[in-house]
A and B are shown apart, each in its own frame.
Chain A
Amino acid sequence: MKRYIVYRLLQGVVLLCLVATIVFFLGRLTGNPVDLMLPEDATPADRMAMIKALGLDGSLFQQFTIFVGNALHGDLGTSIRMRQPAVEAFFSRLPNTLAIIPWALLLAMCVGIPLGVIAALNRGNMIDRAAGTVAVLGIAMPSFWLGILLIYVFSVELGWLPSGRMGGPEHYVLPVITLGAFLVAGFMRLVRSSMLEVMESEFVKLARIKGLSESVVIWKHCLRNALVPVLTLWGVFVGNLITGAIVTETVFAWPGIGRLTYEAVIFRDFPLLQAVIILKAILILSINLVVDILYAYVDPRIRLA
């Protein structure tokens, strides 16, 4: 087990280096933040002064060397736009994104898992098809559209919920629904396949022969085992949510790292962009590692592989 963890950690480091290098050069290809910070009638001299003040003079290779040197000390640069350490900017906004993820996952599971079970139990007939259709609704609508529609109906027309921004529990409802809807299909499909597989397995047949009632068979034996693979989805989905909540955060004015990433691209804020991607990568790799370890404990077959 220990060897496995060490091996994974080493792989993670290699990966990070790869990602960091890609981001560094790709980012700088996109333009120059100075253009976005100056008014359109600025003189060339003013422009040079700002480039110097921001430390953007110097060749690409020089800047890369400085970047690597600082990164090894844990300093991932200063955000050009916000003039604060990029790491600080990231961690000040991370909790906002993390706050919403568990709720989205919970909602998706509460809707997706029952749908998957229903579908598996009714395999092939209209109920299966219907459950599938409902689950897929979440990935069939562009999330910004869903979000804006939800705001229009529940906030503007009905006045039940606020239109956006972070705040008390009522501020969480619409963003959680928007984010969670996207994940329902994944859970439903996984549970359905998993249930089908388990339902045909040996020990379930044994339980039936033993005369246990159908509901006990399903709920106690099938479901418990069918749910194990759901763990792997957590890793994937948390990764998705951390990297991809840009649209939802924009629509609901949620001050998380998705929006931070988007702004870093639009404003050509290279240090922030680099820091955000590297830190996100670290986060995702760690989560994947944790999930894999958990999975190994839960499913002994993997441990021995």
Chain B
Amino acid sequence: MPWIPICIIAIMVSMALFAPLLAPYSPIDQTLRDKLIPPFWVDGGGIDHVLGTDAFGRDMLSRLIYGARVSLIVAALALTAGGGVGLLIGIVSGYFGGAVDNALMRLVDAAFTFPAILFALLLAVTMGQGLGTLVLAISLLLWASFARVIRGEVLSLKQRDFVALAKVRGCSSARIMLTHILPNVLNTFMVLVTLNIGVVIIAEASLSFLGAGIPPPTPTWGLMVSDGRGRIAEAWWVSLIPGIAITLLVLSVNVFGDWLRDRLDPRLRQL
């Protein structure tokens, strides 16, 4: 079992869940006079602000903790929406085949040809920046790849005996999909979800950089990295600390996901 990644993930989830209890300050409270204080182990820092402050005097540790919450909420919502839709379409498309499959897969192709980040940008400038827009944009990024992989799984499952048996017994399509197909693709689905958590978090960071993420003053790790990027030389902690947090989380999630896939079915090539 990959213990280190699991621990890291657990820590970050706790940060997200217990943010109000753990954070020493409010993440959006500005004190301009206290701006850019370094972390306590650097000259000029102190235990008042353990990880220092940003350009508006906001406490980095508190923003980091609350940022975990936002990042994980975005991931959960986007994966439920995008993953859920992808799962549904994948099952329906793979099971029915024929014209339905064709039409849906062309839609998937269209989604792949359309630049994902561009779509997110367009949404952001049309609907305004915000949590809803971001979740929508990232869901649109995810659903197509989920759909494609799940469909592949369903295609091979379709040929199996127990499905033929169910058909012979007169089960309706919906019932077969729900009770026979769905449980058998759940493994794949779980692996996909785990591996895509990282994609969501990185996408949020890139969109914040392009000005299409969740707007300030809400702390998100991506926005914190983006905001601090002009000060790498003299105030490195503003950008580096959330950046390392992102890297650690995504690494952990991916290592865990790889291990999961290996345990469940190493033949999942499309992943």
Contacts and interface: CB of A to CB of B under 8 A. Distances in A.
B125 interface: yes
Contacts of A156: 233
A243 B266 contact: no
A15 to B, nearest CB: 5
Count chain B CB atoms within 10 A of each CB in A129, A136, A266 and give the residue with the most.
A136
A57 interface: no
Contacts of A222: none
A148 B115 contact: no
Contacts of A265: 118, 121-122, 125
B210 interface: yes
Interface in B160-206: 198-199, 202, 205-206
A26 B110 CA distance: 15
Nearest to B268: A193
Interface residues of B, number: 45
Given A142-B243, A262-B121, A262-B210, A11 B126 contact: no
Given A142-B206, A189-B271, A281 B116 contact: no
Nearest to B2: A129
Interface stretch (B12-20, B46-54, B251-259): B251-259
Contact of A142 (B106, B225, B262): B225
Contacts of B269: 190, 193-194, 197, 229
Interface stretch (A27-35, A47-55, A61-69, A168-176): A27-35
B235 interface: no
B122 A139 contact: no
A140 interface: yes
A114 B26 CA distance: 47
Interface SS of chain B: helix, strand, loop or mixed? helix
A285 interface: yes
A194 B269 CA distance: 7
Interface residues on chain A, size class:
35 or more
Interface string B91-117: 000000000000000100110111111
A290 interface: no
Interface in A256-305: 261-262, 265-266, 277, 280-281, 284-285
A185 interface: yes
Contacts of B222: 142
Interface SS of chain A: helix, strand, loop or mixed? helix
Contact of A189 (B106, B198, B233, B258): B258
A37 interface: no
Interface of B: 2, 106, 109-110, 112-118, 121-122, 125-126, 198-199, 202, 205-206, 209-210, 222, 225-226, 229, 232-233, 239, 243, 246-248, 250-251, 254-255, 258-259, 262, 266-269, 271
22 contacts: A11-B109, A22-B114, A29-B126, A30-B122, A30-B126, A31-B126, A129-B255, A132-B255, A132-B258, A136-B258, A139-B202, A141-B247, A142-B225, A144-B226, A193-B267, A193-B269, A229-B269, A243-B116, A243-B118, A261-B115, A262-B210, A281-B113
3 shortest interchain CB distances as A-B pairs: A243-B115, A142-B205, A140-B250
Given A139-B199, A144-B206, A262-B210, 6 more contacts: A26-B126, A140-B254, A141-B202, A148-B229, A243-B116, A243-B117
Interface of A: 11, 14-15, 18-19, 22-23, 26-27, 29-31, 123-124, 129, 132-133, 136-137, 139-145, 148-149, 152, 156, 185, 189-190, 193-194, 196-197, 229, 239, 243-244, 246-247, 250, 261-262, 265-266, 277, 280-281, 284-285
